[in-house]
Chains A and B, each alone.
Chain A
């Protein structure tokens, strides 16, 4: 049991150090590299969908399939919770 814990600790420290090194090698904060798609959205969302809120136009129009999957996941989780507690709460 103790050796297992030591092995886990060494693996965790290795993971932590690697991920910390990668954090110091990231690009500087606040300067995105590739933004052509987002520039298109910001420039054209008002003519194409008529919404002032660009985030909403992406969520419900440009990337509607993501929102469909998300709503389905939420619905499935709620169905699972109701099925799990069937007969328990009235």
Chain B
């Protein structure tokens, strides 16, 4: 892909960090507001898509490397399974940390409330793990398919 015009590149430079921060907000507040790991990961991956389209495929690889994203994806899935094994004393996927008073362990007030960040037990940690996996996985798909598109175009011109 060839890079787009200077206007698009300048707007991208201002906007992409805001999109990434908004995606992280959706991931971290997944147990209080609409959203969660999958949705926030998809929002963050859309920032990668914006970078890829506006700068072209080669320049975008300076920002994010494919191997690093692949490592993040594997570590996200491993963290998710490890959090699921954490409650194996009772049963698989048991919410060990909820209402325990420790990490994310405050007792949530029942009914309509403004929301407390420090509740939810294992759920916010699983949100972060799945969000890490989804954002890096979609980033890997975008990078790999963009590189292969360049290759396919060269083959077509022969």
To the question of whether A and B form a pair in one complex, the answer is yes
Q: Identify the A interface with B (CB < 8 A).
A: 46-53, 55-57, 59-61, 64-65, 67-68, 71-72, 74-75, 78, 81-82, 85, 88-90
Q: Is A61 in contact with B151, judged by CB distance below 8 angstroms?
A: no
Residue of B nearest to A74 (CB): B137
Task: Name the distance in Å between B59's Cβ and chain A's nearest Cβ.
Answer: 15
Residues from chain B with a CB closer than 8 A to the CB of A68 are: 80-81, 84, 93
Task: Name the distance in Å between A72's Cβ and chain B's nearest Cβ.
Answer: 8
CA distance A50 to B95 in the complex (A): 10
CA distance A88 to B66 in the complex (A): 13
Q: Is B73 in contact with A75, judged by CB distance below 8 angstroms?
A: yes
Interchain Cβ contacts within 8 Å, total number:
112
B106 within 8 A of A: yes
Q: Is A51 in contact with B147, judged by CB distance below 8 angstroms?
A: no
Q: Which of A55, A71, A88 contacts B130 (CB 8 A)?
A: A71
Interface residue SS majority, chain A: helix
Residues from chain B with a CB closer than 8 A to the CB of A46 are: 108-111
Q: Identify the B interface with A (CB < 8 A).
A: 30-34, 36, 66, 70, 73-74, 77, 80-81, 84, 92-93, 95, 98-99, 104-111, 113, 115, 119-123, 126-127, 130, 133-134, 137, 140-141, 143-148, 150-151
Given contacts A82-B144, A85-B148, A89-B144, contact A74 B30 (CB under 8 A): no
Q: 4 closest pairs, A vs B, by CB?
A: A89-B147, A64-B93, A51-B31, A50-B119
Residue of A nearest to B69 (CB): A78
Q: Is B32 in contact with A52, judged by CB distance below 8 angstroms?
A: yes
Q: Which of B126, B130, B137, B150 contacts A78 (CB 8 A)?
A: B137
Q: Is A49 in contact with B98, judged by CB distance below 8 angstroms?
A: yes
Residues from chain B with a CB closer than 8 A to the CB of A53 are: 30-34, 36
Residues from chain A with a CB closer than 8 A to the CB of B126 are: 60, 67
Task: Name the distance in Å between B74's Cβ and chain A's nearest Cβ.
Answer: 8
CA distance A56 to B34 in the complex (A): 9
